Amino acid sequence: MVTTSVTGGSIWSGSSGEWQARDLQIEDDTIRAVRAPGESRSADVLDLTGLKLSPGMIELQINGGWGIDLQHEPGRLWELGARLPAVGVTAFLPTLTSNGAIGMDEALAALAAGPPQGWAGAEPLGWHFEGPWLSPVKAGAHDVGALTSIPAVLDARLSPEHGVRLVTLAPELSGARAAIAELVDRGVRVSLGHTAASAAEARDGFGAGATMGTHLFNAMDGLHHREPGLALPLLLDGHWVGLIADGHHVAPDLVDLAWRLARDRIVLVSDAVALLGMTGDEVARLDDGTLAGSVIGLDRCVRNLMRFAGVGLGRALTAATAHPCAVLGLDDRHSVAAGQRADLVALDAAGNVQMTMVGGQVVFDVRQESGSDGAD
């Protein structure tokens, strides 16, 4: 058994709305005790004096980063996972868009094969298939030619057991209601997105079992005063709200509005593409100007939420930690508490990642790195 004492940090108390100084006792991959400072020591001490300790961030929508493009190379998901701790991510859903749907076999096989020997990084929890059952009029960066109708018989591999955790589809498509119900029955979470659905059609999709909307305001109708689309039930009806807080996909003032209306349901996602960690730009676009994903990490989405909506670090972090855990039904890594998995991120007061731990193992420490490794 490997025992580690984590000292000097503070953890967020959602009930009191305060950061409280606490030491942690970690045994192997689990937090065994959370104590007042100075109550315990072990031979192996990790000093995080002055830093804020949070559960690791959970990324539900990421297409690539650091030159890795999962749409063309889904087998490189483990390489992507090895880089993600630099931006505070300890678990993620590698995302395959409609453009990459042809690579489904390779994607599932790579996940099933497991990590290469000696690998360490953010844990892939299963794939997010964003498409190909999307509206052609709301395809965004998806190739319209790659979109397909919903089949009468769903592929048996669309299940958590085979490596699929989340599916985004358009609820107005023929067969969508039955597909949503079947996917949910298999244990797959369903998110509505890339859709021209009316509010009524969207609510029908939620009634069938969908629980989330994919990237609020993007690839859906806006809040038209007579014909509201998916955005309306997302903001008002109690569903999980995926949000790209890069300042480009959604204007900062509308990020603020979304937070005011749905703060307890906001799920930050980066929707990052291969340029993450490789460019100083903040957004990727197609040649015609269409938005094609962000190039910032989930940590920066947290910092942007703080800035755009006037949110403190503790509350902003819940949108990248506890909320995505709730979407996936994860009850083992949503808080810094005894019995939880030792997936942790340590940040400074501004929300910059300083250290990331996965399963009790430090996999990123800025104090041992020459730079931020793409976090900004």
| Residues 195/220, Cβ–Cβ less than 8 Å | yes
Concatenated DSSP letters of 348-369: -TT--EEEEEETTEEEEEGGGS
Q: Catalytic amino acids?
A: 271
- Alpha-carbon gap, residue 231 to 350, rounded angstroms: 30
Tokens standing for residue 105 = 């076999």
Instruction: Count each helix (H run) and each strand (E run) in the chain, helices first.
Output: 9, 23
Tokens standing for residue 10 = 């503070």
Tokens 């810094």 belong to: 336
Concatenated DSSP letters of 7-40: ES-EEEETTTTEEEE-EEEEETTEEEEEE-TTS-
As a whole number of Å, the CA-based R_g of the chain is: 20
| Residue 185: DSSP 8-state | H
